[in-house]
Amino acid sequence: MEYTQLGRTGLKVSRLVLGTMNFGPQTDEADSHAIMDAALDAGINFFDTANVYGQGENKGRTEEIIGNWFAQGGDRRDKTVIATKVYGTMAADGVAWPNHDKLSAVNIRRAVDASLRRLRTDHIDLYQFHHIDRATGFDEIWQAVDTLVQQGKVLYAGSSNFPGYKIAQANETAARRGGTIGLVSEQCLYNLAERRAEMEVIPAAQEYGLGVIPWSPLHGGVLGGIIRKEVQGGRRASGRTADTLADPAKRAQIQAYEDLLDKHGVEPGEAALAWLLTRPGVTGPIVGPRTAEQLASALRAVELELSDELLTGLDEIFPGTGPSPEAFAW
């Protein structure tokens, strides 16, 4: 496994991030523990979760599964950089009681204590804001985070799904306050088929020294060889993936992608991950395996070197928009 520092921090993390959103809803506890053991054995030390994972009436279940894994000992907690998130309501029906969601100081304090209980740990390495809160200023947010850092409950703070201007606003507020490190990472939607983050988000992250952690690196399975799987009689596309393939132009684009990788003898899912690992500013993509086999495939991507010819071909199929302001101006 390769390691890098998380943004401008001294924290060393693996180039793949283990996503745990499937733990509970799709992968039972025993299999989830086996996947985490295999990930740690392979050198993945960076695990990502969120307080709302588990879904519906089982929100928080994913953190509990991880906490039970930590409780097995064997230096599991000591070897793991654990990241979780705060923002959404924990109510099963999605209707929040006042002050029980978003980023007010009172909810951050409540949410971090609840996550610590579920994770069965005394601190969270990276505490991430799952979304922007338009009603709460960053002075209040940083005051709450500073208190948690002083208490030893949180080490670093990160963002998720932030636009570039909010990354700038957050870190300029932190700099003005002094005594706080500000955001050290941004977790955003970024992959070959969805490159809008290159316009503003990734340049802002690089400017302020944030590590970029792409989520949905296979674009919901679209980049994982979905057309080939259909032809071979495998799992048929559903949901957003089916909608994508129903568009003739997008289907032709995905077919061209799969044909290009067939020509080079590279597996689609592994190529999509390997491409992200070549991108400036990227710390590591989040992989969310449901099975041990899917984890093994993700691990191969770290060792995969994409030729210049293949990288050029990928850019031709998925050109992206380019950075701003040139993306929309002269």
* Number of residues that make up the chain: 330
- Which tens digits make up the pLDDT trace of 281-299? 999 999 999 888 899 999 9
Average pLDDT for 242-267: 94
- Which tens digits make up the pLDDT trace of 52-75? 999 999 999 999 999 999 999 999
Identify which has the larger pLDDT, 233 or 258: 258
Quick one: which H or E segment has residue 245? helix 239-246
Catalytic residue status for 208: no
**String of DSSP letters for 86-105:** E-S---TTS-PPTTSSTT-H
Architecture in CATH for domain 3-220+268-309: Alpha-Beta Barrel (3.20)
Cis before 325 (ω within 30): yes
- Which tens digits make up the pLDDT trace of 76-132? 999 999 999 999 999 999 999 999 999 999 999 999 999 999 999 999 999 999 999
Catalytic residue, chosen from 53, 156, 190, 257, is 53
* pLDDT(244) > 90: no
What is the pLDDT, as a whole number, of residue 270? 97
Residue for token pair 């922007």: 132
Q: Which residue ranges make up each domain of the chain?
A: 3-220+268-309
What is the pLDDT, as a whole number, of residue 235? 65
- Rounded to an integer, what distance in angstroms lies between the CA atom of residue 60 and that of residue 110? 14
What is the pLDDT, as a whole number, of residue 19? 98
Please classify residue 105 by burial: count the beta carbons closer than 10 Å to its beta carbon, then call 0-12 exposed, 13-18 middle and 19+ buried: middle
